[in-house]
């Protein structure tokens, strides 16, 4: 399955907006998230697993039949997850960054996207 960068961004935004100050997000809230509604259960679950794998979030999971990962709770966005989200959260920065990627290389890693988004924001700020 392909990692959808729009889903990555929206899911991180959803987690940040949903996360209580000293709490967790349980799986019963997933269907209410914008990213779940926009991208569907399969893409949502895949993206959630990849965010955990990349250490952008901390989450507790269980395995059913040793194959399917079912996330029960999201504990937090990590420091790196917040740094990445802060870089791409602005709609203006995100659109300009995506346009640059699409019009030059077609697709790239999240690290390159973060770097390009940082340069985009820096240019928009006139720095």
What CATH number has the domain bearing residue 47?
1.10.10
Number of domains in the chain: 2
| Claim to verify: residue 11 and residue 59 sit in the same structural domain | yes
Domain of residue 94 covers 90-124
Mean of the per-residue pLDDT values of the chain? 88
Query: 3-state class of 26 per DSSP?
Result: strand
| Claim to verify: residue 67 and residue 112 sit in the same structural domain | no
Tens digit of each residue's pLDDT (9 = 90 or more) over 31-51 = 899 999 999 999 998 999 999
C-alpha 85 chain-centroid distance: 7
Tens digit of each residue's pLDDT (9 = 90 or more) over 81-104 = 999 999 999 999 999 999 999 888
| Residue 65 confidence (pLDDT) above 70 | no
Structural domain contains residue 37 = yes
Predicted local confidence at residue 60, as pLDDT: 83
| Claim to verify: residue 9 and residue 70 sit in the same structural domain | yes
Q: How big is the chain, counted in residues?
A: 127
pTM as predicted: 0.86
Give the pair of three-digit tokens for residue 15. 């987690």
């Amino acid at each position: 399955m392909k990692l959808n960068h729009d889903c990555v961004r929206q899911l991180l935004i959803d987690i940040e907006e949903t996360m209580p100050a000293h709490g967790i997000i349980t799986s019963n809230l997933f269907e209410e998230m914008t990213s779940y509604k926009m991208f569907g259960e399969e893409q949502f679950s895949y993206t959630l697993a990849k965010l955990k794998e990349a250490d952008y979030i901390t989450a507790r999971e269980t395995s059913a039949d040793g194959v399917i990962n079912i996330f029960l709770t999201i504990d937090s966005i990590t420091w790196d997850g917040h740094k990445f989200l802060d870089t791409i959260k602005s709609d203006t920065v995100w659109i300009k960054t995506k346009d640059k990627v699409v019009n030059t290389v077609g697709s790239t890693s999240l690290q390159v996207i973060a770097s390009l988004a940082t340069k985009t924001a820096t240019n928009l700020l006139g720095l």
